[in-house]
Amino acid sequence: MSNFPEPVLLVPDHRRYEMNVAGQVAFINYRREGKIIALTHAEVPAALNGRGIGSALVRGTLEQIKAAGDQVRALCPFIAAYIERHPEYDALRADPKG
């Protein structure tokens, strides 16, 4: 569960997931490959660094992907590291762990 009341929103027109915090937008870019969502880049504005917003953004994004019945290909190192630290998301991996 996120510590932030701000929801993560899917914005298909921009091919990204967004979270608005204090008037600034943290986001994850994605590319759809059928039932696989390739997460290509995560960005949190510098003013928001160190507050756990990146982790909350990844968690909210993964929860939406899980609810949609899709899988994840983590191309962004930050997202890949998050999934590695949270084995509850192993089943979402499109690529086997290894």
Q: Which pair of structure tokens corresponds to residue 78? A: 């930050």
CATH class of 9-92: alpha beta
Calculate what percentage of the chain has a pLDDT beyond 90: 89
| Predicted pLDDT of residue 1 | 40
Cα angle, residue 42 at apex, residues 39 and 45 outer, rounded to 5°:
160
Beta 36-43 vs 9-11: how paired, if at all? unpaired
Mean pLDDT confidence for 32-41: 97
Mean pLDDT confidence for 83-95: 95
Beta partners for residue 26, in sequence order: 19
Beta 71-74 vs 9-11: how paired, if at all? unpaired
Close Cβ partners of 14 (under 8 Å, ≥ 6 residues apart): none
The pLDDT tens digits for 57-79 are 999 999 999 999 999 999 999 99
User: What are the structural domain ranges in the chain?
Assistant: 9-92
The pLDDT tens digits for 3-14 are 556 799 999 999
Q: What is the largest CA-CA distance in the chain?
A: 39
